[in-house]
Structure 1
Amino acid sequence: MRILVVNVNTCESITQAITRQAQSVAALGTEIIGLTPHFGAESIEGNFESYLAAVAVMQRVMAYDQPFDAVIQAGYGEHGREGLQELLEVPVVDITDAAASTAMFLGHAYSVVTSLDRTVPLIEDRLRLSGLWQRCASVRASGLAVLELEQDPERALQAILQQAEIAVREDKAEVICLGCGGMAGLAEQIRQRSGVPVVDGVTAAVTLAESLVRLGLSTSKVRTYAAPRAKAIVGWPAR
Structure 2
Amino acid sequence: MRLLVVNVNTTEAMTAEIDRAARLAASPGTEIVALTPDFGPASVEGNYESLVAGVAMCERVARYDQPYDGVVLAGYGDHGREALQEICSVPVIDITEASAMTAMLLGHRFGVVTTLDRTVPLIHDRLLVAGLTARCAGIRAADVPVLALENAPEASLDPIVEQARLLVEQDRAEVICLGCGGMAGLADRIRDELSVPVVDGVASAVAQAESLVRLGLTTSRVRTFAAPLPKHVTFPSGAPALRAGVGA
Task: Using structure 2 for the length normalisation, give the TM-score.
Answer: 0.94
- Secondary structure of 1:134's counterpart equals helix
Closer, same or farther: CA 115–65 of 1 in aligned 2, 3 Å:
same
Query: Are 2:145 and 1:145 equivalent residues in the alignment?
Result: yes
Matching residue of 2:87 = 87
In 2, the alpha carbon distance for the partners of 1:21 and 1:232 equals 36
Q: Is the 8 A contact 1:148 1:156 kept in 2?
A: yes
Aligned-pair CA distance for 1:158: 0.7
Q: Shift of the alpha carbon at 1:4?
A: 0.3
TM-score normalised according to structure 1 size: 0.98
How many percent of aligned residue pairs carry the same amino acid?
A: 60
- 2:35 equivalent in structure 1: 35
Which residue identity is paired with 2:9?
A: N
Residues 41-80 of structure 1 show CA distances to partners (whole Å, capped at 9, x for unaligned) of: 0000000000000000000000001000000000000001
Could you say what secondary structure the match of 1:83 adopts? helix
Q: Measured at CA, do residues 238 and 125 of structure 1 come closer, stay the same or move farther in structure 2, by a change above 3 Å? A: farther
Structure-2 residue corresponding to 1:191: 191
1:117 aligned to 2:117? yes
Aligned-partner Cα distance in 2 for 1:123–1:238: 32
Q: CA deviation at 1:152?
A: 1.4
Distance 1:155 1:176 in 2: 20
Q: Which amino acid aligns with 2:150?
A: E
Aligned residues: 239
Task: Please give the alpha-carbon distance, in whole angstroms, between the structure 1 residues aligned to 2:188 and 2:232.
Answer: 49
- Which amino acid is the alignment partner of residue 62 of structure 1? A
Letter in 1 for 2:98: A
When the two chains are superposed, the root-mean-square deviation of aligned CA atoms in Å is 1.0
Corresponding position of 2:245: none
Equivalent in the alignment of 1:133? 133
Contact 2:97 2:130 in 1 (8 A): yes
1:70-107 per-residue CA deviation (whole Å, 9 max, x = no partner) reads 00000000001000000011000000010000000000
Which amino acid in the other structure matches residue 58 of structure 2? M
The one-letter amino acid of 1:210's match is E
Give the match for residue 70 of structure 2.
Answer: 70
| 1:98 equivalent in structure 2 | 98
Contact 1:59 1:238 (8 Å CA) reproduced: no
Distance 1:70 1:117, change over 3 A: same
Partner of 1:47: 47
Pair 1:181-2:201 in alignment:
no
1:138 is paired with a residue whose SS is strand
Contact 2:98–2:208 (CA under 8 A) maintained in structure 1: yes
